[in-house]
Amino acid sequence: MTVTISRTQRRFVLPEDRLPTHYVNIAADLPVPLPPPLHPGTREPIGPEMLAPLFPMALIRQEVSPDALVEIPEEVREAYRSYRPTPLQRATGLERALDTPAHIYFKNESVSPAGSHKLNTAIPQAFYNREEGITRLATETGAGQWGSALAIAGSMFGLDVDVFMVRVSYDQKPYRRSFIQSFGADVVASPSDRTNAGRAILAAEPDSTGSLGIAISEAVEVAATNDDVKYSLGSVLNHVLLHQTVIGQEAMAQMEMAGEAPDIVIGCAGGGSNFAGIAFPFLRDRLRGSSSTRFLAVEPASCPSLTQGEYRYDFGDTAGTTPLLKMHTLGNDFRPAPIHAGGLRYHGMAPLISHLYDLGLLEARAYPQTTCFDAALQFARAEGIVPAPESSHAIRAAIDEALDAREAGEQRVILFNLSGHGLFDMAAYDAYLAGTLTD
């Protein structure tokens, strides 16, 4: 007698020829236009010339593009092919552990060479800078994922990279720092004595643990005061969110392979890049009236810009040197607690995400870090992947949605973005397992 075993397909992998050819620009579908950035002195809308000292013109054009689709250069697509398309996975182990009728899927961005989604924008940023003759980039990094990605992209395109790494992460994650240096980038703890902004912070607060806002101030200062240097940012701005939409486009095709459509799309949110990447292609369908998908941005309770911040114009950095952006903000002088999800320790939220949240098109939720680590270990033991502390926020929300589905007796389809792995974050897990981690 032959016994037939029914198996649920767990991995959905696109061939390389299904790699997206264009980025999705959600700004083209907004029901209300995005408020423009303002000059910090005059408070008048700024033109491209204001951004020219910091970014190459190709990225500035993407920042203000009205086009629904923006073509991806073939050289960028070729670089993407080293790890993209990334797999969509069904978390059947987690479903069983939760005893839920919900179907849980995750887009696995942890398989990139940088270990996170950040390489999706680092590659085009390095490419466009090289095309305009730039030889050096300055940037900041929180947990180190963005610094790792830009270091890799810099090595691909022959650019020197200076990384200002938030002091608390610089100390907490020495191997992430070593990883960045392995690709030839220079890493310095921020606040540092290399810039006027850093020296001013240290004079007022010698033991400062730093913040993304401070590190941005330092990187912007280096770019603004050196003609051969441009600034590179891993989140918040429109062109960065644009590049990340390769995630959601692939996920849409893979969900079709699975024969399902998500009832809710979830991503952790600090500056907003990975959430935008997974959500914006699906959100375009909702804006065009062809879906009713919910979208949930999840942030740390210690840095709750969406759930507790004000929606107003604010600086993107601590020193107040950037253009003013209308966003949900806790204030550019806000000092977040030194939680281990360093990539979410930012005082503001991307203007595009803030605008969509203000229009009621997105939901937001905040969690303390200990309950996120609870979820991270539950996911790791069920699925065999140790997630980044940032990603654990999305996992926490996905688990809660699955438990809600169980209580309601609903077969809900949940999709979240696993934005990165936690293999450089084991000190955080060590503290959690030892019972010394606090909220």
Inform me whether the pLDDT recorded for 417 exceeds 50. Answer: yes
Mean pLDDT of 105-130: 97
- Residues of each domain in the chain carrying CATH 3.40.50.1100: 24-35+49-71+117-238, 80-115+244-433
Task: Average the pLDDT over 361-371 and give the result.
Answer: 96
Question: Is the pLDDT at 5 greater than 80, yes or no?
Answer: no
Is 115 in contact with 423 (CB distance < 8 Å)?
Answer: yes
Residue-wise pLDDT for 215-248, tens only, equals: 989 999 999 999 899 999 999 999 999 999 999 9
Q: How confident is the model at residue 172 (pLDDT cuts 50, 70, 90)?
A: confident
Euclidean distance between CA atoms 80 and 66, whole angstroms? 25
Q: In what order do the strands lie in the sheet with 160-166?
A: 186-190, 160-166, 136-141, 229-231
> At 2, is the pLDDT very low, low, confident or very high (cuts 50, 70, 90)?
very low
Q: Residue 138: which residues within 8 A CB-CB, separation 6 or more?
A: 161, 162, 164, 219, 220, 222, 223, 229, 230, 231, 232
Strands (E), 26-123: 69-71, 88-90, 103-108
Residue 25 has pLDDT above 60, yes or no: yes
Q: What is the rounded average pLDDT for all residues in the chain?
A: 94
The whole-number pLDDT of residue 110 equals 97
What are the C-alpha distances in Å from 346 to residues 146, 231, 239, 265, 333? Answer: 14, 18, 18, 22, 11
Question: Residue 337 has what pLDDT?
Answer: 75
> Is the pLDDT higher at 439 or at 256?
256
CA–CA distance, 428 with 168 (Å, rounded to integer): 12
Residue 342: its pLDDT value, please? 64
For the segment 281-321, what is each residue's pLDDT rounded down to a tens digit? 999 999 999 999 999 999 999 999 999 999 999 998 888 88
pLDDT on residue 341:
64
How many other C-beta atoms are found inside a 10 Å radius of the C-beta of residue 20? 22
Which pLDDT value is given to residue 3?
43
- The answer to whether 277 touches 117, Cβ cutoff 8 Å, is yes
Residues 6+ apart with CB under 8 A from 303: 270, 330, 334, 336, 337, 339, 344, 345, 346, 347
Q: Would you say 106 and 416 are in contact if contact means Cβ atoms under 8 Å apart?
A: yes
Task: Assign a CATH topology to domain 80-115+244-433.
Answer: Rossmann fold (3.40.50)
Question: Is the domain 24-35+49-71+117-238 a CATH 3.40.50.1100 member?
Answer: yes
Q: What pLDDT does residue 392 have?
A: 97
Q: Which residues pair with 415 in a beta bridge?
A: 105, 265
Q: Who contacts 6 (Cβ-Cβ below 8 Å, separation ≥6)? A: none
